[in-house]
Amino acid sequence: MSIVTIEKHIIDHALTSNDISHILYDINVAAKLIRQQVIRAGLTNLCGVSGHVNESGEVVQRLDILANTIIKDTLSNHQRFSFMGSEEESAVVQTDTYETSDYVILFDPLDGSSNIDVNVSVGTIFSIFKKNPQANTLLDHCLQTGVQQIAAGYVIYGSSVVMVYTAGNGVYGFTYDPGIGEFILSHENIRIPDSPMYYSVNEALFNACDSRNQRFIQTLRESLSLRYVGSLVADFHRNLLKGGIYMYPATRQSPRGKLRLLYEANPLAFICEQAGGLATDGCNRILSIEPTELHQRVPLYLGSAALVNAYTQFN
Ligand code: AHM
Ligand code: MG
């Protein structure tokens, strides 16, 4: 039987640079460490809230903090990053090797916080840039438009653990084999299916959306099935493989939407476009939005091109 490990795949694919191969390998190490904690969380006193509230005003879980530390420590040790932006860090983190390293990473260490304690899929999302040569501040390195991403991906800790990435040359997925401790190529050159199956939205927000969103949701109800896990990574991964649209619109309570541009929308938009899909905030392509804040929120419509186009043309 011939298997392709993630290490062999990234070497064989001669990614844009050797550095990106190393970075993806380092992230696969961090993912294994996080997985180890996620699968044992109920046994190790890691469930529950940490007592902190993050920069976005959300309650931080213990596992959010642990995942954040694992990623920061693993990637700092490997010395490829100068700057890091995380959902769980109020400001940009500068590494000890910021002068000699060349890259910037933005990440959501453990997406789907509300699902951590109840054994529902959660995930890690990441977005990678080169350092910005025009930057005057640390923040400038992180405030780059999505089109400048050189790689992006996510890891879903679900009924199996899967890592998906793009480096601008297609989308590849790897399933973790706990027997040998390796991520093995399982999804080659992923393309979103042409005929979508699902729409994913928090239906409880229906009355808080504007009429354009309400009427659009009504059309989706007539043609598709609803699936909504409440972990963006899980909802996106399903729709990537089965076809569909994920949406988190602006609401009365959150007029700029809930999800964050830099470490949620941008990386998934890059993957989605690479798989033949689209991502918009309703007016603008997600990857073209000029960021102004580290924790900037954005309305998000993500998935099959026909459905995302249908929303942008919907009046
Ligand atoms: P998180 O990064 O703190 O987990 O917040 C983002 C999550 C997404 O994973 C998910 O799609 C969304 O929030 C769910 O929000 P809601 O509970 O409002 O439907
Ligand atoms: Mg998140």
Query: Which residues are CB-neighbours of 292 under 8 A, at least 6 positions away?
Result: 143
- Give the model's pLDDT for residue 308: 98
pLDDT in tens, 157-192: 999 999 999 999 999 999 999 999 999 999 999 999
- Give the model's pLDDT for residue 117: 86
Instruction: Tell me, using a 6 A CB cutoff, whether residue 112 lines ligand 1.
Output: yes
- Give the model's pLDDT for residue 182: 95
CA 3/CA 8 separation, integer angstroms: 9
The mean per-residue pLDDT over the stretch 254-270 comes to 97
Is 198-312 in the same CATH topology as 6-187?
Answer: no
With contact defined as beta carbons under 8 Å apart, do 158 and 234 qualify? yes
Instruction: Tell me, using a 6 A CB cutoff, whether residue 88 lines ligand 1.
Output: no
What percentage of the chain carries pLDDT values higher than 70? 97
pTM for the structure as a whole? 0.95
Closest C-alpha to ligand 1, atom 3 = 113
Q: Between the CA of residue 256 and those of 21, 109, 246, 260, 284, what are the distances in Å?
A: 35, 22, 16, 10, 13
Mean pLDDT of the chain: 93
In the sheet with 171-177, reading across from the earlier edge strand, the strands are 93-94, 81-86, 103-111, 122-130, 151-157, 161-166, 171-177, 182-187
Look up residue 172 and give its amino acid.
Y
Domain positions in the chain are: 6-187, 198-312
For the domain 6-187, what is the CATH code? 3.30.540.10
Closest ligand 1 atom to residue 123 Cα is: 9
Instruction: Tell me, using a 6 A CB cutoff, whether residue 203 lines ligand 1.
Output: no
- Among 135, 109, 137, which residue's Cα sits nearest to residue 122? 109
| CATH class of domain segment(s) 198-312 | alpha beta
Find the length of the chain: 315
What percentage of the chain carries pLDDT values higher than 90? 84
